[in-house]
Structure 1
Amino acid sequence: MKLLNHTTKYFALLLIVLISVWAVIFYFAMLDEVYDSLDDGLENQKQLIIRAVKDNPDLLQDTEFGVNNYTIKNTHVGTHTNLKDSYRDTLMYMQNEDEYEPIRMLESTFQQEGKYYKIKLITSMVEEDDQIENLFKYLVGLYLALILSIVVLNNLVMKKVWKPFYTLIDRLKGFRIEKDDPIKSEQTAIDEFNLLNQSVERLTEKSRDSYIAQKEFIENAAHELQTPLAIAINKLELLLEKNQLSGSQTHEVGGVLDNLTRLTRLNKSLLLLSKIDNKQYLEEEYLDMNTFVTEVANDFLDFTTHKNISLNVITNATVHYTMNADLAVIMITNLIKNAIIHGDAGKEVTITIDANEISIKNYGKEKALDANSLFTRFKKVSSDSRSTGLGLAISKAITDKYLLQLKYSFTDQHNFMVIFPSSS
């Protein structure tokens, strides 16, 4: 939910509470004013009638409610000694409505020529149910008008006010730390947005400087390590070629040479992982994965012949995907190489290309591997000292980079699956 809509939601809830409380207070205040007005009118009418009775005693004969909406009857002094006015609500049958309607009644006592008379006056009043219904309608109308005003205000005025914020958000979405494109903010008249822009600029610039420093360090360290390793390997190979060493010495030098060779592969693998993690492979293209699988499989034919393993490629569909070509080759190479190395001699490795999936199966250990740690760095499937334990980790890093899924399953064969999004 967008910030403006989120704010509107709370405004709407707050208005419901405020208008509801205000409606109750307004209703009772309005009733008080209505009763006060009606009572003043009845009091004034009573004074007029009493004055008229003094001039025209015949009015004392109006003992039933008629056109004049009042009655006058004899009463005893003992029962009305306080001579106070009394107001109350009651019902009266109305001819035009053919039903009982609420009225306001005033009962009072006055003296005329030594006698006391009880006078009752009535006046119509608004029905409370109608009054509540009308009040509810007007309040709903007011609420909708306020909500509409808030929505219009948010979309016209507040949207303009928050424009620098959304501009910064869009630039953050497009920001790539590996690209030489720092975020440049625009100056605004709002201090908080200027502070936010400056903070984001400093943060992204510092992050980018750290990224560049880390990238250069890794590349330089890998390069500097590669050179002495290559020199050491060359010198040891020359030492072996001179044939001036005893059998045990040759064995020892061979072991050192194997470790140096493994260290060289490890160095290259770690550098590759670092480049993948730092998103240094920016070039992408729409690739025919079938072609890559076929080419990599052909490159391993000599290796499979040496291990007495048959390599079969079954194509059931054509898979295309947008990614870096070098990383695609590395991903497929690692998976096929892993299947061949750990495959049983005399068996086969089957590569199946289906719609949105590439499956690589091989016969090996007759039990499932630990899927939770299989793609962990430096996790070795075998005890081969020449293995770096990074092949599957590199493939997993590549699939994660391009939103692919690398899964493992086991039935009678070990099965590694690269699953492509269906929209690819």
Structure 2
Amino acid sequence: MKLINQFTLWYLCISAIVLLAGGMIVFYSVQREIIDEEGRRLKDTVKLIAGLLEKGTEIDDIAGHQVIIRELDPAAAEIPVQIKDTLAWFEPHQHFERELRASASYKIKDKHYFIAASNLVAESDEILDGVLQSIGWIFGLLLLVVALSGRLLSKAILTPFQHTLSAIQAFHLKQKDPIPFTTTRTDEFKTLNTFLGKMTTKALEDYRSLKEFTENASHELQTPLAIMRGKLELLLNSPITDTQAQLLADAHQAVDKLSQVNKSLTLLARLENQEFESSQVIDVSQLTLDTLSTFAELMEMKNLTLKTKIEADVFVQLHAVLASILLNNLISNAIRHNSTDGFIYVTLTPATLIIQNTGNPPQLPTHQLFERFKKSNQSNDSIGLGLAIVKQICDVSRFQIKYVYAEELHTVELNFSTKR
């Protein structure tokens, strides 16, 4: 939900609560004011009638529908003025109506008169209906004004925030210049822009430093590794004993492994820095067939049976280099961790790529196999970065990947269609 909509919703909820509370206050205030004012008027009417009687006016000339006068026992005590809120039968409409009555008794010229004056007043439900209708109209008007003004004001007030949000969304570590933020007079937006400016500038500086270090380290490591590999090959071709040959072969293998680790870590760094962009549409069907053909000899050496179900014309938005690395790592992993005389099943559809292979159960929880330097069998020649690279490529390309082991089959499923 947008920020302006949240503000509007909260404001309307608070306004509704305040209006209801205010409506109850108005209801009781109006009702009390009606009773008090009508009570004062009726008291004055009773006193006025008493004055007329004292002047000698006849009772029949005063008494009527709303005025009652009758004589009491002269010896009885006078009744003070009383106000009574009651119900009275209203003959024209044939139902009871709310009535306010003021009554008192006065001793005038040796006579004792009981005087009562009454009048119909608005009932509580009638007052409440009026108050609720007023609140409803006020709330409807408030809703209309807030909805219209909120849309108009949000464009003026939140425009700098929208510009900042767009700038952050377009931010990329490979850009050279800091983010240009829109000038604003709102203090909170100024603070936000200042913080984001410092943060992105620091991120750009750290990225350039890390990129430079990674490139330099990778380049500088390749030269001594190449020299070591060359020297070891010269020693292997020179007259040496079998023991020395074995030691040199182990050293040569270690150098090759170190070179692979260096290249893999460099690739992971480039992937994390988003140096690859998915700007091409790759024919995954043909690339999968080509990759399987490349590994055909290795599969023959382990006497592996390959079964495929590859649909034609499966195209995916993916960087060409990453696509090749992805398939190479998945298929080589299926061969390396397979058992002799095992099977490999490759299924490709427009939505998924599934690679299954036989092999020993994993010695680690399956979710850890996508982490760096985690491998099922610590004694094999794997460097433990193949699946980590695959996972990073999937993250960059917004693919979903999962790995399960069930029914003596290792299954890696890559989902092209589901974006996270």
Alignment check: 8 A CA contact 2:229 2:252 kept = yes
SS at match of 2:366: coil
1:213 aligns with 209
2:58 aligns with 58
Cα shift at 1:127: 1.5
Whole-angstrom distance in 2 between the partners of 1:302 and 1:419: 28
Q: Deviations over 1:342-390 (max 9, x none)?
A: 2233344221213411122222226787413222211223355532111
Q: What letter is aligned with 2:132?
A: F
SS at match of 2:370: coil
2:317 aligns with 322
RMSD of Structure 2 on Structure 1 (CA): 2.4
Identical columns (%): 27
Provide structure 2 residue ranges, at least 5 long, that are not aligned to the other structure.
none
SS at match of 1:227: helix
Residues 414-423 or 190-199, more deviating: 414-423
Cα shift at 1:87: 0.9
Alignment check: 8 A CA contact 1:103 1:123 kept = yes
Mark the CA change 1:194 to 1:373 in structure 2 (over 3 Å): closer, same or farther. Answer: closer
SS at match of 1:109: strand
2:152 aligns with 156
Q: What letter is aligned with 1:262?
A: K
Whole-angstrom distance in 1 between the partners of 2:349 and 2:245: 50
Match of 2:355 among 360, 364, 367: 360
1:103 aligns with 99
Is 1:374 the counterpart of 2:369 in the alignment? yes
Is 1:349 the counterpart of 2:344 in the alignment? yes
Q: Deviations over 1:82-113 (max 9, x none)?
A: x5311111222112221010111110223332
SS at match of 1:134: helix
Alignment check: 8 A CA contact 1:60 1:73 kept = no
Whole-angstrom distance in 2 between the partners of 1:185 and 1:423: 30
Q: What letter is aligned with 1:194?
A: K
Whole-angstrom distance in 2 between the partners of 1:80 and 1:158: 74
Is 1:74 the counterpart of 2:104 in the alignment? no
Alignment check: 8 A CA contact 1:53 1:60 kept = no
Aligned pairs (5 A) from 1:3-14: 3-14=3-14
SS at match of 1:80: coil
Aligned pairs (5 A) from 1:161-180: 161-180=157-176
Is 1:35 the counterpart of 2:30 in the alignment? no
Is 1:390 the counterpart of 2:385 in the alignment? yes
Provide structure 1 residue ranges, at least 5 long, that are not aligned to the other structure.
none
Whole-angstrom distance in 1 between the partners of 2:74 and 2:308: 121
Alignment check: 8 A CA contact 2:46 2:103 kept = no
Is 1:303 the counterpart of 2:285 in the alignment? no
Q: Deviations over 1:172-207 (max 9, x none)?
A: 122222333531111112233222212211111111
Q: Which runs of structure 1 show a deviation greater than 4 angstroms over 4 or more consecutive aligned residues?
A: 60-63, 366-369
SS at match of 1:228: helix
Match of 2:240 among 232, 236, 245: 245
Match of 2:224 among 225, 228, 233: 228
Mark the CA change 1:288 to 1:423 in structure 2 (over 3 Å): closer, same or farther. Answer: farther
Q: Deviations over 1:23-80 (max 9, x none)?
A: 22222221222122212322333344334434553225766x43xx211111234433
2:2 aligns with 2
Residues 213-222 or 174-183, more deviating: 174-183
SS at match of 1:176: coil
SS at match of 1:311: strand
Alignment check: 8 A CA contact 2:278 2:317 kept = no
Q: What letter is aligned with 2:30?
A: M
1:49 aligns with 49
SS at match of 2:367: coil
Alignment check: 8 A CA contact 1:310 1:347 kept = yes
Is 1:272 the counterpart of 2:267 in the alignment? yes
Residues 403-412 or 322-331, more deviating: 403-412
TM-score, length-normalised on structure 1? 0.91
2:118 aligns with 122
SS at match of 1:374: helix
Whole-angstrom distance in 1 between the partners of 2:419 and 2:253: 45
Is 1:282 the counterpart of 2:290 in the alignment? no
Q: What letter is aligned with 1:156?
A: L
Alignment check: 8 A CA contact 2:173 2:207 kept = yes
Residues 195-204 or 361-370, more deviating: 361-370
Alignment check: 8 A CA contact 2:342 2:359 kept = no
